[in-house]
Chain A
């Protein structure tokens, strides 16, 4: 079946460090891929998306490239800030109105 696997957290980084959060997926067909972010006490917000192979989604300095050959959609940011501390969810959509979410990866950024 369709599934999403994310690296386990928490991930702890110092401010201005490089961030990578790994995400791989299993899906039939050609899914759309998303990253969502959840700040403390809030709901999930769409961070970026990619709808086909080799697409790069980007927003707020975050990027992720849809890699069909490795079934991956890793999230990266060149220089994290304290305000990026949150939980990040990778998700996929293959049809049928339902989005499948990963377990989430908690990021702590220290000043």
Chain B
């Protein structure tokens, strides 16, 4: 089992640029989560999907953030335009069903200069 796959692993960009983070969940999992982790705020849930449908995006910090899940095997998190305060590690996680544990990807470390 390949686990949750995220790309890129590291991203360095300049303020104002568009950033797209990608995630491939574990095959057969029907729930997908995007988290952000920083030293100051810890682990924050941004948005989650069930069966490709966004269920709760109340954690998305601003309109600059958007997420899509066009099919069961792929999701993106986009930041446009990016700002230095967006610098963080972004994790994607997937789960096989209601109540089951979430499996995390290795994360994307984003640095916005």
Cβ 8 A contact of A101, one of B43, B55, B103, B106: B43
A97 with B95, Cβ < 8 A, contacts A34-B101, A43-B107, A46-B101 known: yes
Can you name the residue of chain B whose Cβ is closest to the Cβ of A49? B101
Can you name the residue of chain A whose Cβ is closest to the Cβ of B32? A97
The reply on A32 being an interface residue by CB < 8 A is: yes
A43 touching B106 by the CB < 8 A rule? yes
**Interface size in chain A (residues, C-beta < 8 A):** 20
Interface residues of A in 79-108 (CB under 8 A from B): 89, 93, 95-99, 101, 103-104
The reply on B102 being an interface residue by CB < 8 A is: yes
Cβ 8 A contact of B98, one of A34, A45, A49, A95: A95
Can you name the residue of chain A whose Cβ is closest to the Cβ of B55? A97
Chain B residues within an 8 Å CB radius of A103: 42-43
A45 touching B104 by the CB < 8 A rule? yes
Chain B residues within an 8 Å CB radius of A45: 104
The reply on A42 being an interface residue by CB < 8 A is: yes
B104 touching A43 by the CB < 8 A rule? yes
Min C-beta distance of A7 to chain B, whole Å: 14
A residues apposed to B, CB below 8 Å: 32, 34, 36, 42-46, 49, 51, 89, 93, 95-99, 101, 103-104
10 contacts between A and B (CB under 8 A): A42-B106, A42-B107, A43-B91, A43-B93, A43-B104, A95-B99, A97-B31, A97-B48, A97-B95, A103-B43
